[in-house]
Amino acid sequence: MRTAICPGSFDPVTYGHLDIFGRVSLLFDHVIVAVSRNPIKNPLFSIEERVELLKSVLTHYPNIEVSSFDGLTVNYAIKRKAIAIVRGLRVISDFENEFRMALTNKKLACHVETIFLMTKAEYSFINSSTVKEIASFGGSLRSLVPPVVEEKLREKMKNLPKS
């Protein structure tokens, strides 16, 4: 069985992420969407909330599993017997960081490949930070995230302490 992992923060999941997951699910037998705990990033949603949201929007993919992990992505890939780490590429500025990470991961585990899928043009501008910024100003999120994510974002923004 060929397993791939799609690691990320997914804070929160967007239509850009979902497009990548759908395409990866056609290429591998089993796909693990792996939510990184990485507290340095100071996420808006807790790890449990991010996992829950991902599960709720991925129910119609029988070969996609959602999980979370601590530590190095490559170690989690090895633990889960994944043969590939799949990342999405949007803009040129993604490339430098992704290239560095892919080379580092190759050094750490030479049998785990990193595969990049190019974003679809209509999703190339979407990222979780922009989504959160738009939500904080009450803007429309309809074309950026699924309705359940929009709802959770609105709730979260309402309950954030005023600065």
Residues catalogued as catalytic: 17, 41, 90, 128
How many residues of this chain interact with ligand ADP, rule: CB under 6 A? 16
* Contact call for residue 105 and ligand ADP (CB under 6 A): no
Q: Assess contact for 31 and 4: CB atoms under 8 A.
A: yes
- Residue 137 CB, nearest distance to ligand ADP (Å)? 20
* Contact call for residue 150 and ligand ADP (CB under 6 A): no
CA distance 33 to 51: 9
Positive or negative, the CA dihedral 72, 94, 66, 11 is positive
Please give the sequence-ordered ranges of beta strands (E in DSSP) within the chain, or none if there are none. Answer: 3-8, 30-36, 64-69, 84-89, 113-118
Judged by CB under 6 A, the stretch of 16-24, 47-55, 59-67, 150-158 that binds ligand ADP is 16-24
Please give the sequence-ordered ranges of beta strands (E in DSSP) within 55-112, or none if there are none. Answer: 64-69, 84-89
Q: Assess contact for 154 and 45: CB atoms under 8 A.
A: no
Spatial CA neighbour of 6 closest among 107, 19, 24, 127: 24
* Contact call for residue 9 and ligand ADP (CB under 6 A): yes
Considering only residues 64, 128, 132, 152, which one is a binding residue for ligand ADP as defined by CB under 6 A?
128
- Residue 162 CB, nearest distance to ligand ADP (Å)? 27
Nearer to ligand ADP by Cβ, of 38 and 163: the residue is 38
* Contact call for residue 76 and ligand ADP (CB under 6 A): no
Q: Which residues bind ligand ADP (CB under 6 A)?
A: 8-10, 14, 16-17, 20, 87-88, 90, 94, 119, 123, 126-128
